[in-house]
Every structure is written in structure tokens, then in C-alpha cells.
Amino acid sequence: MGTSTRYITTPIYYVNDRPHIGHVYTTTICDAWARFQRLSGHDVFFLTGTDEHGQKVEQSAEARGVSPQELADENSEEFRRIMGMFNLTNDEFIRTTDPRHEQQVQSLVKRLMDSGDVYLGTFEGWYDAGQEEYYTDTKANEVEFVSPISGKPLERASEQNYYFKLSAYEDRLRKMFDDHPGIVRPDARRNEVLGRLREGLQDVPISRTNFAWGIGVPGADEHVIYVWIDALFNYITALGLADSESQWHAQRAGYWPAGMQVIGKEILWFHAVIWPALLMALELPLPSCIYAHSFWISEGQKMSKSLGNFIDLEELQGYMEKYGSDALRYFLCTQGPLGATDADFSRSQFHETYTTDLVNTVGNCASRTSAMIGKYCDGLCPADTGECADGGVDWSDFTSAQVEAAIDSMERFDLSGSIAAAMTIVRRVDAFINETAPFKLAKDPEMAAQVGDILYRCAEAIRIASCLLEATMPEKILELRDAWNLGAPTGDLRGECQWGRLAAGTAIEKVALFPRVESE
């Protein structure tokens, strides 16, 4: 990726469910990435939203005695509420019931019909009428042609559907993975897709006739476009890509292709195979990266509806009230299931991370440094006279290596790696204070210049680390910026992180960023 525009997307969330930690997680990590790119001066477009069509929504609405649109309106609002609650800075919140999306989906499907990539085909199989479900021949044989649920015989039935010619893209998809191995990450996920790709691809039905809540197939209204096709298109309809007359198009078309499309691992196949094939069929460029993270589990257990153990918004709000919103963001970004393995959300782990990293490291280091500057330097940033022993560290080299590591990790969507580089700086400052003991030197007036030099290095290194941590903890770093008179971010992150930017004489106020919290 070069400089300039950066487009990042989350999945769009189903409105037949209540928002929970999974949705907050994906949106938060995307937010941290988006903020980091903005701090680096890039022109970012960050998209999230809700997936509102399909049979499940229709059924949930029916069960509640409301219309599907009413249900969608109500629950979409719940998801939109997350954005404010968790300090998320999405640039758009798309809804698939927005007519601007619906019209574009129809014109995209029309294009695919015109090019022959979507065709009307007939499907034949063994139908379980009670379940409205087809069985393959093998499966029907296994259940002896009787529905295991109702006990009634399966019927031989056929149905006409529109199909997407996925099979025609098998070779091009393989070539895509050869030419751009980083298009699906992490590696474990790419290998999973490659494994399935080797089994061959079949055309996929992309329309349904057994319910009505969806977007009609152009010219064949009794067919509703399959919710997954409708949903995948959100990533381009939000940019107005299929409506060149629209304002969305005028302002946003330039953001495509996306730099980062973040999803959970359960929807990998749709994003890593069907989505690129659709884009190929539409002759649109492919995203740079589809990143499929793993899952949060809760206190060692898989979260599921039947167990009722989803960490919900109320519980997350409880964490925010107790520890602060930035602490939750920090926990999600550093301890989350970003890689190929699941992560456990546990109270004790949360508390420990908060105490170790934020109270004892970042908070303590900033408060120690600012308190000493208050006490020994009248609250003004001392000048760097070059007198102090560096403690074996070339601070300029050391910090710039960490800055590069932090930026580089963020490019690869390695959020915890990026944060770890910033924390390496903070930990080094802590050790440096212990090694050089400015609080002891300060007892001797002759050592004033040395004390000043030590404290300059501490404050400057903390300032640089804070620039790198700002995307993850925007509120606390703003507090630090205010207390230390660091000004607003300039949009040149690398430049801001250059050693020596902190001017002597800057008023440094004492800060207490992360109060200690008692564990339960």
C-alpha cells in the first residue's frame, strides 16, 4: 500500500441478533487501524453497518409480530449505538435496506446476468418440506429418505434458481493466491481456503423463492437475491461504485480497492472465494487484504446462544465504567484473537493486563516523569544538554527503531505487535529511571544538568510512545497531550516521532492516567 487513500471495512452485522463482544471487537480493531492511518496522514474511509435481509430476519420479525423493516430499524439502531458507546470513528454506517444499496445491488446483479456470470438454472434434490431444506443424494441415503426431524418421507423436488458461475473462476482464484499470497491472512486461513479450493468449485445459487424479505432479482421479482450476495456488495455500494451518478460515487469511488477487509474466521469462504470471484466477474480490482481473525471465548467456554454466555453490551459497559473505555480498547487490541487462535475473555486477565501494562507501566512512567519534572525542574521540560550517561541507550536510534516497528506492524494489521513496540519504549524508560535514579542525583545541586538530561530523555521517549499508542487509547493520550502541552497530532506520525521534538521549557503537568482499580 502506498500513501493516500485507505479503505477499511468490518463485516456488516445481522440485525436478528443483539450486538455482543464479537461485533464490538471487530469494529474496535478496525477503528484502531483507521485512527492510526489517519494519524499517519492517510485519507481513510472506515465502513461498518448492518445486514438486514434474509429469511432469519423475516422469521424473527414474524415471531415478534412486527414487520421485518421494523425489526431491522430497531436492531440496526442498537448496532449504530455501539459506535458512540465505544468511541468508534466509522465514516459511514451502511444498511442493506437503504434504497441506495438496494438499487446498486440490482444493477450489479443485472450486470452479472448480462455477462452470463449469473444464469437461471434448475436444482434437483431430496426436499424436507417441514424444514424447507434440500438433502444431497448421499445425505438423503444416510437418513433413508425420511426426515430425521418430522419423520415424514423426503420428496424428490426441483427448483429454479439463479446461479453465480463460481466454477468459471477456479483458475483465476488459484492464480490470485499465487500472485498475491497476502490477500488472505493470517497464513493459516489462507491455507484453509487453498485446501478447500483444491476440492473444486461449484456454481452457487444466489436467489431464493421461499421467502420475500430481500432484494428482487431484476426482471424476476419472485426471486429474492441471496442475502450473502446482497451483503457482500455493501463494500462497494457504500462507495457508490454501481451508481456513477450518485454523490456517494463522486465522493468515495476513489477509495476502492479496499486496503483492509476485516472479518471473523467463520465467514472466510464468502470473503476469500466468492467475494473475489464476484469482483473478477464485475472486472473490479481486488482488495489488498482480507484479514480473518479468530474468536473470543468467554471464561474458557465457547460463547453461544444456547449457553447464553455472550459477553453483551451491558457487561462491556461495566468494564468501561470500572476501567475506562481506553482500557477496554487496549485489552481488545492486545489480548484479542487477532491471529489464528481463539482468545479467552476473562475478568482476571482483563484486570491483570490493566494493572500491569496501563497502571504500572504507562501510567506510572508518565506520572513519575512528570512528578520529577515538577519537583526538580519547576514543571518545565528541561533542556537536553547531552551531559547524562545514556545508560547504554542511543535514545534516538532506539526510539526510531521502535517507531518503524510499530508502523510496520500496523501495516500488517498486527495491532498487538505495534502496541508492543510502543510499550518497549515505555518499559525502557522505566528501567532507565531505576538505573540512573534521578531522584537520588537531585539531592546534589551539582547534578542538576544531569537530572535534567535524564528527565528530558524520559519525557521525550514517553511522548513518542504516546504518539504510537494514540490510535488505541485516544482519550488517555489526549489527556497526556493536554497536560504536557504537546499540541494536536499533525498527520505526520513519523515526523512527530522524531527524537528531539519536545521543546525545552514546555510546561509539563503531573498526570495520573490510569488509576489503580481493586480486583473483585
By the criterion CB under 6 A, which residues form the site for ligand ME8?
Answer: 11-14, 17, 22-23, 25-26, 51, 231-232, 263-264, 266-267, 295-296, 303
Question: Considering beta carbons, is residue 274 or 426 the nearer one to ligand ME8?
Answer: 274
- Nearest distance, CB of residue 14 and ligand ME8, angstroms: 4
Alpha helices in 115-233 (DSSP H): 137-142, 170-179, 187-198, 227-232
- Nearest distance, CB of residue 29 and ligand ME8, angstroms: 9
- Nearest distance, CB of residue 277 and ligand ME8, angstroms: 14
- Nearest distance, CB of residue 11 and ligand ME8, angstroms: 4
Q: Can you state the angle between helices 415-436 and 448-469, rounded to 10 degrees?
A: 170
Question: Considering beta carbons, is residue 52 or 470 the nearer one to ligand ME8?
Answer: 52
Please report, in angstroms and rounded to a whole number, the separation of the first and last CA atoms in the chain. 46
Nearest to 122 by CA among 139, 134, 112: 134
Question: Considering beta carbons, is residue 274 or 464 the nearer one to ligand ME8?
Answer: 274
- Nearest distance, CB of residue 287 and ligand ME8, angstroms: 12
Question: Considering beta carbons, is residue 343 or 465 the nearer one to ligand ME8?
Answer: 343
Phi-psi region of 334 (alpha: psi -120 to 50; beta: other; left: phi over 0): alpha
Give per-residue burial for 2-39: e unless 16+ CB within 10 Å, then b. eeebbbbbbbbbbbbbebbbbbbbbbbbbbbbbbbbbb
Question: Considering beta carbons, is residue 88 or 425 the nearer one to ligand ME8?
Answer: 88
Question: Considering beta carbons, is residue 33 or 376 the nearer one to ligand ME8?
Answer: 33
Q: Which residues contact 461 (CB under 8 A, 6 or more apart)?
A: 395, 399, 425, 426, 428, 429
Question: Considering beta carbons, is residue 264 or 382 the nearer one to ligand ME8?
Answer: 264
- Nearest distance, CB of residue 358 and ligand ME8, angstroms: 22
- Nearest distance, CB of residue 34 and ligand ME8, angstroms: 15
Which residues pair with residue 50 across a beta bridge? 13, 95
Query: From start to end of 245-342, where are the E strands?
Result: 260-264, 290-293, 296-298
Amino acid at 456: Y
- Nearest distance, CB of residue 25 and ligand ME8, angstroms: 5
Question: Considering beta carbons, is residue 55 or 466 the nearer one to ligand ME8?
Answer: 55
- Nearest distance, CB of residue 390 and ligand ME8, angstroms: 44
Q: Is the peptide bond before 186 cis (omega within 30 degrees of 0)?
A: yes
- Reduce the DSSP state of residue 263 to 3 states and report it: strand
Question: Considering beta carbons, is residue 51 or 58 the nearer one to ligand ME8?
Answer: 51
Nearest to 455 by CA among 388, 358, 361: 388
Assess contact for 104 and 253: CB atoms under 8 A: no
Assess contact for 88 and 208: CB atoms under 8 A: no
Rg of the chain over Cα atoms, rounded to whole angstroms, equals 27
Which residue in this structure is represented by grid cell 471464561? Answer: 299
Q: In the bound complex, which residue of the shown chain has the CB atom lying closest to ligand ME8?
A: 22
